[in-house]
Amino acid sequence: MIDQQRVWDEEVAQSYDTPGEGMFADDVLGPTVATLAELAGGGPAVEFAIGTGRVAIPLREAGVPVSGIELSHAMIARLREKVGEGDIPVVQGDMATASAGEGFALAYLVFNTISNLLTQEEQVECFRNAARHLARGGRFVIELWVPQLRALAPGHAGTVEVSEPGYVLVDTIDTLTQRLTSHHFRFGPDLADGREARVGRSPHRYIWPSELDLMAQLAGFTRESRWANWRREEFTAESPSHVSVYRLPG
């Protein structure tokens, strides 16, 4: 049993934000927020796995009322350093079962977070939980990577995804269970605690796009759109990720 509180602990929460860089860069957040605001259509939104508020805070600033669900106490504490409960209410709990209310126009999961649920059953329950949160005609939006199993060399069960000064990311893959573990190696003299290297691991269960569509059908959704990214570029066989929009009957 994976202890997700240990995976997403205080150390991770305090180092999670990278203002202006990476997934916090304006050219990443801008299209994300604009698309979500349009899909909300003037109604309220709920973010599953809201984290430190990377998307929720600018989405609220764009005029969309946002609530959230988050399992990690440390991530919620980091969010609370930036906004109060009255601005973005958050329920602590599992995104497959916890409830933040009903009648939302939009529910969304960004940056692969549905893969933090480690069984197919939990992932299906996440869709069903989204349906319980939504009003008729409401949308559920998921940003997710496409498994890159073609990158695996014969006889190998891992790939080096990032290699740059001070940081290496290695993903190991079990194709029988669709489990992927990301191993984050940070090293060098700049580590705040004086160590020469620090290793962090995060477990995931990857989902094929067609499998995701079937999960949606089981929860009563139909797929409305699929894009390669938040700029709504065409999704192709070479796309490394996708943004998929599902809708309940209206």
* Under 8 Å between Cβ of 8 and 74: yes
Q: Which residues contact 143 (CB under 8 A, 6 or more apart)?
A: 32, 108, 109, 110, 111, 112, 230, 241, 242, 243
Amino acid at 60: R
In the chain (250 residues long), the average pLDDT of successive 10-residue segments reads: 61 66 86 98 98 96 98 94 96 98 98 96 98 98 92 82 87 91 79 67 94 98 98 96 97
Whole-number pLDDT of residue 192: 54
* Under 8 Å between Cβ of 70 and 78: no
Instruction: Give just the sign of the alpha carbon dihedral 181, 187, 192, 195.
Output: positive
pTM for the model stands at: 0.89
Tokens matching residue 6: 């240990």
Token pair 């609220």 is found at 60
Whole-number pLDDT of residue 7: 58
DSSP-derived letter for residue 233 is P
Question: In Å, how far are 2, 19, 168, 211, 222 from 15, measured between CA atoms?
Answer: 21, 11, 16, 33, 37
- Give the largest CA-CA distance in the chain: 57
* Under 8 Å between Cβ of 244 and 225: yes
Whole-number pLDDT of residue 93: 97
Tokens matching residue 153: 């060399």
